[in-house]
Amino acid sequence: MERVLIILKPDAVQRGLVGPILTRLEQRGLKLQGLKLMQVDEALARRHYAEHEGKGFFAALVGYITSAPVVVAVVSGKAGTVELVRTMVGVTNPAKAAPGTIRGDFGLEIGRNLIHASDSPASGERETAIFFQPAELISAWNRASDPWIYE
């Protein structure tokens, strides 16, 4: 199973889009393994965005993700889940995101693009470990709908 870390950024929380976005992920058939509302502090933001340190937008990125609460989730599914979620999310710039994607339907500006999703299975594991302790994740649970989602 692949895991994807999802962050519903401050704009998604402030605009009341947590429910609609999580609904899309669940209705697609993805399984929640962890979910929490939290305030990201600067140290956590720097750790999460470490690959961007030194870039011109790094300070603004850290400032934004720490500006208001976020909802952090881990979703999982069979191989290909990262790619599936990234397709659902849409391209980084909401103005160029396809209709039907989360960013295409709810966003307008690149600096307010609503959601983060891991970009690879390795990133999914690394990012999950940054935001969740193992005891906060429920990895092995069966949904009654699983046989109707997966062959």
Cα angle vertex 112, ends 40, 115, to 5°? 60
Q: At how many degrees (to 10) do helices 81-89 and 18-28 cross?
A: 140
* Catalytic option among 3, 31, 48, 116: 116
Q: At how many degrees (to 10) do helices 121-131 and 81-89 cross?
A: 80
3-class secondary-structure state, position 121 = helix
Q: Cα separation of 145 and 43, whole Å?
A: 39
Cα angle vertex 100, ends 115, 57, to 5°? 30
Q: Is 116 a catalytic residue?
A: yes
Catalytic residues: 116
